[in-house]
Homo-oligomer: A and B are copies of this chain.
């Protein structure tokens, strides 16, 4: 459990993964999709995901430079978990309004 939680925890991580579930995305595309997230934190999250082999990145040759991130096979394993997170969150909200602090 701690392993899976470590994989998806950290603010923004689930949102980044959600974007990548829809297909490969460049650094810039992720920034646009998550505007309130600073470049530093996005970079940190992606680095961690890459270290954990959940995401891989490809540098495109040429200028301007372009780097595309995509889920690895291991990363795809997270899909059911993300769906379950969504399902559970939804169920909690339906049952009670007290969840947000």
Contact = CB atoms under 8 A, between A and B. Distances in A.
A99 B7 contact: yes
A83 to B, nearest CB: 9
The count of identical subunits is 2
- Identify the interface centre among A14, A53, A81, A88: most chain B CB within 10 Å of its CB: A88
Tell me whether chain A's interface is mostly helix, strand or loop, or mixed: helix
A5 B81 CA distance: 11
A78 interface: yes
Contact of A14 (B5, B77, B100): B5
B81 A88 contact: yes
Contacts of A88: 4, 7, 77-78, 80-81
A37 interface: no
Contacts of A74: 92, 95-96
Interface in A1-54: 1-9, 14-15, 18, 51-53
Interface of A: 1-9, 14-15, 18, 51-53, 73-74, 77-78, 80-82, 84-93, 95-96, 98-101
